[in-house]
């Protein structure tokens, strides 16, 4: 056993990352229209360690989170990363926060006044800080074309688009959601006009990428479009430095 | 504490049901075309007890299951129910088995040769035996009507139909699946012909019910059709004694 | 087809229930300590219909929900049920609302200051109104007994208790959670004292039932205790009119 | 629009990966004791493309899978990767197959005769081939120490270990599972002997790594141990070139 132990130490196979995950926590996030909105986050906090980690320090992650009382904006996000790195004497700190973001849409009386989107902030701090924003947009399409205006149209769940942005500066979640939904609508309309092709994961991926490339405040993005099927799904991915 | 205890005993609030659940188990089920097919079941086994149950008997459920080596047809299903009732000295025994059923579909070269459906056998034995079969059928519809034959059509996940049958006699799972899928196709075609309405959960519920009412070997059925949406789903349910 | 149709009508197999489900909606619920707390609900709304339902009315469910702006207490819950029954001309209306409830626990500096519990309000209105409250409590136990005070103890996920109460009058969610957690602790301590038995789903079910029987404002309850295992889980259920 | 399009092309943000995912498929895998076992796989197949992909080729993935009739061993796994790369004219091909593996354990009459483990084969072929095996092992520990032999002991779900191996040569899944379970038992016993510490994610991570380092046929491994808690989980990760 001892020899293996020495071998292991020689190979430097010490613990690489350690932390806590899936903390359910009520948070407030910035809202373009209402200034702040209340939601619930699932939080992961972990660090890269320079040497063997003592187990008793696990509670420090939660202590740090408690100090911010769930008020999460970009500034507090950065502060949490700094404090994790210091308090846990880590080489790098990581913070991930996934939450439902609610967006008011007052278009029609019959519809829900709030739509929800799964969003995440993903940050890390080593020598420099890296901050990413992830949004998941459902793609819902009309199922059967009807010529009769005003009649209810059946709609179906075609699939979804997952977008991950590396942020240089602040971006409103609302602006990002509306940009992507606009790109989906454009792609769908152009199909309806030309009339001779069906929506494909590849064409929608390119359509959304063209819109994202115009977004300021972003240094890089990746994108995954998925068409949910019955027996299996199809997907396409793309990434791009802006 | 004692008084409450007496009260509780007086009110007869003894344990009502006790058992084991979510046992993953490899099983073979009857297959109309291939005679037998191998699949994996999630099994629940529980009993109603006439008086307080001793905890040490939990292992008996698994012992009984082991004796059948995963060969599950209607006969062995009934035998397991009888043995559970006897060995656990129960008022009633319950057995539920959920599994993926694979159906060969050799229609097109480009498609998967096997489709899968979530099915369940749900049985209980008190004075009489009750056996139910449950099938979940996805409803996949063309998203955008195109006039060009042979071109790829985009399809979307409209929703699903869940059917539960009380069996008087043996029914092939294949026959049930094809009957329901036929009813969905009929309902969808009639919409395409009349051209002035979208598929609704109510009309599809009635359409499937009309087909199920013709099925022999069934004494009762219930049905639930769900249209998956983005912000929420809509559904309709129905039940019928045949 | 016509004959079957007539048969179906004769058998009165019309649509039984129809509605919307899994609406994600930000709500505020009553909080004993903080008066109100913000959380996110998953809402189901459906009705029993006296005759065939027209599909165009589905939007009315959402309209009614929007009118209450997510302020959900017992009074608004009852008002929504009344309005659903009236507007949809229904025999009975049903409203289910599931949400994470956060409870502050300031015991230890190292622990999370908020714990979360999955709760549901389940109401229906036919001739009379029925209101139920459901709470799910995780059962976390020390894994290995250690004699050294102050040392970190490893804990494991033993299982969970699901409690459903029929309410005669108002009950604080906090009071219910603390009552059940107290009952779990009592049951566990009594095992540690006697030292000759392990925690069983049956004994814990009876222990929690004894506590619930003392709760005022409740006319009936049911209870399900589950011990999560590796290959399978064991469970016991019980119900009691108070 | 055109300019952006040119920019996009200039930046080479063409589709990066494209394919199909979550195909449910009945497969047979090698079994050390019984030679072959039947199970159900969830299959992902995708490729890296040198230039823009035509959507009509999606069906080729499924065609290739159908040609192997679900007989999946290391040889057929490699053949599928080669055929995908050729038929789709890809720079690289990827195949992932996740399935439940059942292991017979005849130790005790009262226990289940089969235990199940979530396993995956993960392969890719660019210039060279890379093959990885992933296994997920639940960590179930006794909850309360009892001195009375033969008495039923309550057990709890402490957490899980996820192991990913890069294979140089063939490794039996059984051997890997038993090696990891042995390492968990050793770590747990050493705690019981010394009596002054609780099982930590860090110590268990190191304990399992020491065992894996002795396994032949492996060129690299990574490891993640997770302790499931109530409010949150803790975890540690490690990776090592052998």
Q: What are the residue ranges in chain A where pLDDT is below 70?
A: 1-13, 51-56, 106-112, 142-155, 192-197, 230
pLDDT at residue number D145: 47
Q: Which of D40, D88, D36 is nearest to D62 (CA)?
A: D88
CB contact at 8 A, D159 and D226: yes
CATH superfamily for domain B133-242: Urate Oxidase; (3.10.270.10)
Task: Give the percent of chain B with pLDDT over 70.
Answer: 80
- pLDDT value of residue C104: 83
Asked if pLDDT for residue B206 goes beyond 80, the answer is yes
Report the residue count for chain D.
242
**pLDDT of C5 above 60:** no
Lowest mean pLDDT among A224-233, B162-171, D104-113: D104-113
Nearest to C157 among D142, D146, D157 (CB): D157
**Rounded distance, CA C181 to CA C166, Å?**
19
Position B188 confidence tier, pLDDT thresholds 50, 70, 90 = confident
Q: Which residue has the tokens 């969808």?
A: B188
Secondary structure in 3-state letters for chain D: CHHHHHHHHHCCCCCCEEEEEEEEEEEEEEECCCEEEEEEEEEEEEEECCCCCCHHHHHHHHHHHHHCCCECCHHHHHHHHHHHHHHCCCCEEEEEEEEEEEEECCCCCCCCCEEEEEEEEEEEECCCEEEEEEEEEEEEEECCCCCCCCCCCCEEEEEEEEEEEEECCCCCHHHHHHHHHHHHHHHHHHHHHHCCCCCCHHHHHHHHHHHHCCCCCEEEEEEEEEECCCCCEEEEEEEEEC
Query: How high is the pLDDT of residue C140?
Result: 84
Residue of A nearest to C28 (CA): A38
Among D104, D144, D189, the residue to mutate for chain C (most C Cβ within 10 A): D144
pLDDT single digits (tens) D22-68: 999 999 999 998 899 999 999 999 999 876 555 557 888 988 998 98
Put simply, whether C16 touches D (Cβ < 8 Å) is no
With a CB-CB cutoff of 8 Å, which residues 26-45 of chain B face chain C?
43
Q: What is the pLDDT of residues D57-70, one digit of tens each?
A: 788 898 899 898 77
Q: How many CB pairs under 8 A join A and C?
A: 52
Query: Which residues does chain C have within 8 Å of residue D200's beta carbon, measured at their own beta carbons?
Result: 152, 154
Å from A151 to nearest chain B CA? 7
A62 touches chain C (CB under 8 A): yes
Identify the chains in contact with D, defined as 3+ C-beta pairs within 8 A.
A, B, C
- Are D102 and B66 inside 8 Å of each other by CB? no
Under an 8 A CB cutoff, do A199 and B152 touch?
no
Q: Look at residue C110 and tell me whether its pLDDT is greater than 60.
A: no
Domain boundaries, chain D: 1-100+123-127, 133-242
Partner-chain contact B146 A199, CB within 8 Å: no
**Residue C111 confidence (pLDDT):** 62
- pLDDT for res C1: 39
**Cβ of B55 and C200 within 8 Å?**
yes
D227 contact residues in C (CB cutoff 8 A): 154
> pLDDT, tens digit, for every residue of C8-26?
544 456 788 999 999 999 9
Contact C16 B237 (CB under 8 A): yes
C79 — pLDDT class (breaks 50, 70, 90):
very high
Task: Judge whether A1-100+123-127 and A133-242 match in fold.
Answer: yes
Q: What is the ipTM of this complex?
A: 0.86
Residue of B nearest to D151 (CA): B56
The pLDDT of residue B51: 63
Yes or no, beta carbons of C111 and A59 under 8 Å apart: yes
Does the CB of D53 have a partner CB in chain A at under 8 Å? Answer: yes
Which class does domain B1-100+123-127 fall in?
Answer: alpha beta
Q: Given the structure tokens 């972990």, which residue do they identify?
A: A46
Q: Per mean pLDDT, which of D106-120, D142-156, D160-174 is the most reliable?
A: D160-174
Mean pLDDT, chain D, whole residue set: 84
Q: Is residue D152 pLDDT above 60, yes or no?
A: no
Label residue B217 by pLDDT band (50, 70, 90). very high
Cβ–Cβ pairs < 8 A, chains B and D: 54
**CA angle B56-B58-B59, nearest 5°?**
95
pLDDT at C222 over 60: yes
- Identify the pLDDT of residue C96: 97
Model pTM?
0.90
C145 or C106: which leads in pLDDT: C106
Q: Measured between beta carbons, which residues in chain D are less than 8 angstroms from residue C194?
A: none
Cross-chain residue pair B144–A141, CB shorter than 8 Å: yes
| Buried b or exposed e, range D101-132, using 16+ CB within 10 angstroms | bbbeeeeeeeebbbbbbebbbbbbbeeeeebb
* DSSP classification of residue B69: T
Q: Best residue in B36, B59, B67, B138 to probe D by mutation, most D CBs within 10 Å? A: B59
Q: What are the tens digits of pLDDT across the range B12-71?
A: 567 889 999 999 999 999 999 889 999 999 999 999 987 655 555 788 898 899 898 778
Chain B residues in contact with D63 by the CB 8 A cut-off are 109-110
Work out the percent of chain C whose per-residue pLDDT is above 90.
57
- Which chain D residue is nearest to residue A45, measuring alpha carbons? D234
CA distance B21 to chain A (A): 26
Given a cut of 70, whether residue C143 has pLDDT beyond it is: no
Q: Measured between CB atoms, which of C40, C65, C152 is closest to A39?
A: C40
Q: Which residue has the higher pLDDT, A112 or D133?
A: D133
| Chain B neighbors of A111, CB-CB under 8 A | 231
Q: What is the pLDDT of residue A109?
A: 46
pLDDT-derived band at C174, boundaries 50, 70, 90: very high
Residue ranges of B 193-232 with Cβ closer than 8 A to chain A:
195-200, 227-232
Residues 139-158 of A with CB under 8 A from C: 152
Q: Is the pLDDT of residue C38 over 90?
A: yes
Residue A188 has what pLDDT? 82
The answer, yes or no, to whether residue C144 has pLDDT greater than 60, is no
User: What pLDDT is recorded for position D13?
Assistant: 63
**pLDDT score, position C161:** 97
Q: How far is B179 from chain C (nearest CA, A)?
A: 15
Chain B residues with CB-CB distance to D66 below 8 A: 112-113
């Amino acid at each position: 056993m001892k020899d293996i132990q020495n071998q292991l130490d020689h190979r430097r196979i010490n613990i690489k990352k350690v932390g806590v995950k899936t903390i359910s926590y009520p948070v407030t996030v910035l809202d373009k229209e209402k200034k702040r909105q209340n939601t619930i986050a699932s939080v992961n906090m972990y660090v890269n360690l320079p040497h063997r980690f003592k187990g008793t320090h696990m509670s420090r992650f939660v202590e740090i989170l408690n100090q911010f009382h769930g008020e999460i904006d970009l500034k507090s996000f950065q502060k949490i990363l700094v404090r994790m790195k210091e308090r846990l004497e880590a080489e790098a700190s990581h913070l991930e926060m996934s939450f439902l973001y609610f967006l008011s849409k007052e278009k029609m009386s019959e519809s829900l006044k709030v739509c929800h989107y799964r969003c995440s902030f993903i940050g890390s701090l080593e020598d420099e800080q890296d901050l990413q924003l992830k949004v998941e947009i459902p793609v819902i399409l009309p199922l059967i074309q009807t010529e009769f205006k005003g009649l209810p149209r059946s709609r179906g769940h075609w699939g979804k688009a997952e977008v991950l942005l590396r942020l240089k500066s602040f971006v409103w979640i609302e602006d990002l959601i509306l940009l992507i939904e606009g790109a989906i609508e454009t792609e769908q309309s152009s199909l309806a006009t030309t009339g001779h092709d069906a929506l494909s994961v590849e064409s929608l991926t390119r359509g959304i990428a063209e819109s994202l490339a115009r977004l300021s405040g972003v240094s890089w993005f990746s994108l995954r479009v998925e068409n949910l099927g019955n027996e299996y799904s199809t997907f396409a991915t793309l990434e791009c430095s802006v």
